[in-house]
Structure 1
């Protein structure tokens, strides 16, 4: 298994773990009361902002740990450049992830058009971001295994 495949698998697993752990951490903090209160908007705004920051920092730390672990266990150097195949696979993964996120964004705005509670919009938006990240990692892994 190549370095890129292992990196895609680690990215996929870490994304699922980070999102699940953060949701389990934030779920008990969900405010009671009215669905459209200022406290509810504060909760969802902080949920998205902190999840974004937490995910970025956790992914950076996990990537560094993975690189160190890979270097120690295999005694191989980590590839220091991307060739055209790596760039093409990255672009395809980004395209697919972007499509998933934009679709989720449109569904979340559609939920507002059909007078759903604003919480539905936030949940759809957060879920689409998570699914976009997972789908991008899966696309990357698929193309490294099967080719372009």
Structure 2
């Protein structure tokens, strides 16, 4: 499995964790009556908190992922060559495994299209909820979930394209 695939899987798991945590938290608060469906300020605050948590968590998890990946590569290199090697050799090996090429960029662009389509559909759906007089909190939740789902599906599309390949055109 390539570096890009591993990084994408870690991002998907992080995003899924944040989305599930938000869903459980928001549903529990709504069901218990702490937040009303028309309290847009409370819903916006909760979403902003979870966005902040998601950003911080994604950064920390990616840092830990890269540290663990570097250690794994160093151990594999030592097992392959039978010697420890210096830091420059290990750094060179790590850099070689983390290279992104034109195919990686193309996969990123094609999968980003999936994310934009899902986010766009979610945006239109959110606007439609207002035509049918749903509370503004529904609009916010549809937007939040569609953007999160778009990000998750972007990651899944990347995995798909790395496994299946892409046709340039």
TM tier relative to shorter chain? 0.7 to 0.9
Provide the rounded CA distance (Å) in 2 between the counterparts of 1:143 and 1:51: 29
Deviations along 1:42-101, whole A, 9 cap, x unmatched? Answer: 111112212222111111111111111111123250545421111111111111101101
Instruction: Pick closer, same or farther for the CA change 1:135–1:34 going to 2, 3 Å.
Output: closer
1:138 to 156, 162, 166: 156
Q: Name the TM-score, length of structure 2 as normaliser.
A: 0.77
Structure 1 residue ranges (4+ consecutive) displaced by more than 2 angstroms after TM superposition: 21-36, 78-82
Q: Which position in structure 1 is the counterpart of 2:107?
A: 89
Alpha-carbon distance in structure 1 between the residues aligned to 2:162 and 2:147: 23
Unpaired runs of at least 5, structure 1: none
Return the alpha-carbon distance in structure 1 between the equivalents of residues 36 and 108 of structure 2.
43
Aligned residues: 145
Give the 3 Å change call, closer, same or farther, for CA 33–21 of structure 1 in structure 2. closer
Distance in 1 (alpha carbons) for counterparts of 2:66 and 2:34: 43
When the two structures are superposed, what TM-score results if normalisation uses the length of structure 1?
A: 0.87
Q: Where do residues 113-132 of structure 1 align in structure 2 (5 Å cutoff)?
A: 113-132=131-150
5+ long unaligned stretches in structure 2: 75-92
Q: For the pair shown, which has the larger CA radius of gyration, 1 or 2?
A: 2
Please give the secondary structure, in 1, of the residue aligned with 2:94.
coil
Instruction: Give yes or no for contact 2:3–2:98 (8 Å, CA) kept in 1.
Output: no
Q: 2:9 aligns to what?
A: 9
Structure 1 residue 20, shift from structure 2 partner: 1.5
